[in-house]
A and B are shown apart, each in its own frame.
Chain A
Amino acid sequence: MRRVTLCLLLFLATACTSTDKGTTLVLASTTSTQDSGLLDLLTRQFEADNPGTQVKTIAAGSGEVLALGKNKDADVLLMHSPEQETAFMKDGHGVSRQAVMNNEFIIVGPSSDPASASNGGTIQQALALIARSQQTFISRGDDSGTHRQEMQLWSAAGITPTGDWYLESGQGQAETLVVASEKSAYALTDSSTFAVTRSIDNLKALRLVGLRNPYSVIVVNDARNMAAAISFADWLTNSKGQLVIARQGLFTPVTPAGP
């Protein structure tokens, strides 16, 4: 019994101390960067380039990412919700905001395209065709960057999406794509998450004019690890971070890095 207790204590002690070495930077990011595997690549390379700094990542919806920033539970944010980011900066919660990379918004749906949505040419027209034919569409419904973009597109098309064809998952992008695949439904998604989500074979990307989805890095005002946060943001927007993004190939870095 005493031996078991001793083991437990040792385990607890190691569990507690293992993170105490050096600085632990807390990075909050939206789900697409984690689902696509980019977040792991970035943090691993950053830790290799900056010995003594560990990066703890939290992947969440835009709302939670911003809340983590406001409460200073995160030091640095990587996200794609331009309007919310602008408001966050205006309210003085961030000290800097820099463009990092882009991917594209796309519409995905059943390969048979029952709404003939690909005839629309643009995403906005495609949504209008889906609404007209009342084919099932599944929305994130979670106030995320992608959901906000979707609502803007509906309103630009002059449509208020209501009715039994319009579903809301309230979950992340990958979960929403799985629901869309199982329900043979259409969905708006970022291209990177669509590229890496598995077991959604029912879905095909529609051929439409692309719509840019910009990602930014924000250093939180009065962050607990301010120096590390600034060096991460600089690293991400300079050649080293940009190269990691370019090599992975799922996002387009803002500054095309040399070889």
Chain B
Amino acid sequence: MMHALRLLLDGDPYTLEVIATSLKISAVSLAIAIAIGLPLGLALGMTRFAGKGGFLVLVNSAMGLPPVVVGLFVFMALRNDGPFGQAGLLFTPTAMVIAQVPLAVPLIAGITMAAIAALHPDIRLQARGLGAGRIQQARLVAREARPSLVAACIAGFGITISEVGAIIITGGNLLVGGHNYTRTMTTAIVQETRQGRFDRALAFAIILLVLIAIVNIFLTRAQTRR
């Protein structure tokens, strides 16, 4: 296995392309999911409206969405015969992002929402008393809850980098002309295992775990910095 690890890390272009594709898909999915999930979580945490309880149940349930089910839905939608077949997006990196965003948004929104709800209500009341508008209030609340909001992003990153069920169905684990197109570290691990190349599968697994740890070092720093 050390041999495989050395091979994979020794500037092997195939490995580097797999890692690059993983990080790219994960980063784009996460950025979009944060752009949707953070405001959504803040809004849900700060407002009261009729039927909010049902909405919270919906968001919380969606935190446990099975990736393979979301992948199947996106696959059916993007098929040639599907409602969005004309776009020709199936088996592209875009399709993988479309499948991952709905997995990460509920996690980010749900954790954000819970964090806001746990803040002392005086913070917002004071801000409102001092004449802060809704956006200013949200900004203040977000700053107070920052460690939890970073935790929400960490959870979102976790699912986008680790998930395999949705992206293997929608991305197809493809190489085009010998170059990586939709093959990530997780789908590559599935393939290497299927092919009985367990040492290479384990080497990819170690690289994946190390990369997750490195990204989390930075995120944790952002979380604890005051």
A64 to B183, CA, bound (A): 20
Q: Which residues of A contact B168 (CB under 8 A)?
A: 171
User: Would you call B224 an interface residue if the criterion is a C-beta within 8 Å of the partner chain's C-beta atoms?
Assistant: no
Q: Which of A7-15, A18-26, A94-102, A157-165 contacts B (4 or more CB under 8 A)?
A: A157-165
Contact A162:B90 (CB < 8 A) given known A61-B196, A67-B198, A171-B172:
no
Please classify how large the interface on chain A is, using the bins under 10, 10 to 19, 20 to 34, 35 or more: 20 to 34
Q: Which residues of A contact B188 (CB under 8 A)?
A: 170
Contact between chains at A166 and B178 (CB < 8 Å) = yes
Smallest beta-carbon distance A67→chain B, Å: 3
Residues of chain A from 52 to 79 with CB closer than 8 A to chain B in the complex = 60-61, 63-68
A167 to B174, CA, bound (A): 7
Residue of B nearest to A66 (CB): B196
User: Would you call B135 an interface residue if the criterion is a C-beta within 8 Å of the partner chain's C-beta atoms?
Assistant: no
User: Would you call A143 an interface residue if the criterion is a C-beta within 8 Å of the partner chain's C-beta atoms?
Assistant: yes
A65 to B195, CA, bound (A): 8
Q: Which residues of B contact A162 (CB under 8 A)?
A: 177-178
Residues of chain B from 69 to 126 with CB closer than 8 A to chain A in the complex = 79-80, 90-91
Contact with A along B194-217 (1 / 0, CB 8 A): 111110000000000000000000
Q: Which residues of A contact B16 (CB under 8 A)?
A: none
Smallest beta-carbon distance B207→chain A, Å: 17
Contact between chains at A166 and B195 (CB < 8 Å) = no
Smallest beta-carbon distance A236→chain B, Å: 23
User: Would you call B173 an interface residue if the criterion is a C-beta within 8 Å of the partner chain's C-beta atoms?
Assistant: yes
Smallest beta-carbon distance A91→chain B, Å: 14
Checking A65, A179, A182, A202 against B196 with a beta-carbon cut-off of 8 angstroms, the contacting residue is A65
User: Would you call B223 an interface residue if the criterion is a C-beta within 8 Å of the partner chain's C-beta atoms?
Assistant: no
Checking B90, B177, B191 against A142 with a beta-carbon cut-off of 8 angstroms, the contacting residue is B191
Contact between chains at B80 and A68 (CB < 8 Å) = no
User: Would you call B136 an interface residue if the criterion is a C-beta within 8 Å of the partner chain's C-beta atoms?
Assistant: no
Residues of chain B from 155 to 188 with CB closer than 8 A to chain A in the complex = 168, 172-178, 181, 183, 187-188
Contact between chains at A202 and B173 (CB < 8 Å) = no
Smallest beta-carbon distance A170→chain B, Å: 4
Q: Which residues of B contact A166 (CB under 8 A)?
A: 176-178
Please classify how large the interface on chain B is, using the bins under 10, 10 to 19, 20 to 34, 35 or more: 20 to 34
Residue of A nearest to B193 (CB): A64
Contact between chains at B91 and A61 (CB < 8 Å) = no
A83 to B153, CA, bound (A): 50
Residue of A nearest to B191 (CB): A170
Q: Which residues of A contact B177 (CB under 8 A)?
A: 162-166
Q: Which residues of B contact A60 (CB under 8 A)?
A: 194, 196
Q: Which residues of B contact A125 (CB under 8 A)?
A: none
Q: Which residues of B contact A175 (CB under 8 A)?
A: 172
A61 to B197, CA, bound (A): 11
A164 to B188, CA, bound (A): 20
A64 to B194, CA, bound (A): 5
Contact between chains at B196 and A169 (CB < 8 Å) = no
Contact between chains at B195 and A142 (CB < 8 Å) = yes
A61 to B195, CA, bound (A): 5
A60 to B196, CA, bound (A): 9
User: Would you call A183 an interface residue if the criterion is a C-beta within 8 Å of the partner chain's C-beta atoms?
Assistant: yes
Residue of A nearest to B183 (CB): A170
Residue of B nearest to A171 (CB): B173
A206 to B11, CA, bound (A): 42
Smallest beta-carbon distance B200→chain A, Å: 11
Contact with B along A87-128 (1 / 0, CB 8 A): 000000000000000000000000000000000000000000
Q: Which residues of B contact A163 (CB under 8 A)?
A: 177
Residues of chain A from 124 to 167 with CB closer than 8 A to chain B in the complex = 141-144, 162-167
Counting from the closest, the 3 A-B pairs by CB-CB distance are A67-B196, A63-B196, A64-B196
Selected A-B contacts with CB under 8 Å, 13 pairs: A61-B195, A64-B194, A64-B195, A142-B194, A163-B177, A164-B177, A166-B178, A169-B172, A169-B174, A170-B175, A170-B188, A171-B194, A175-B172
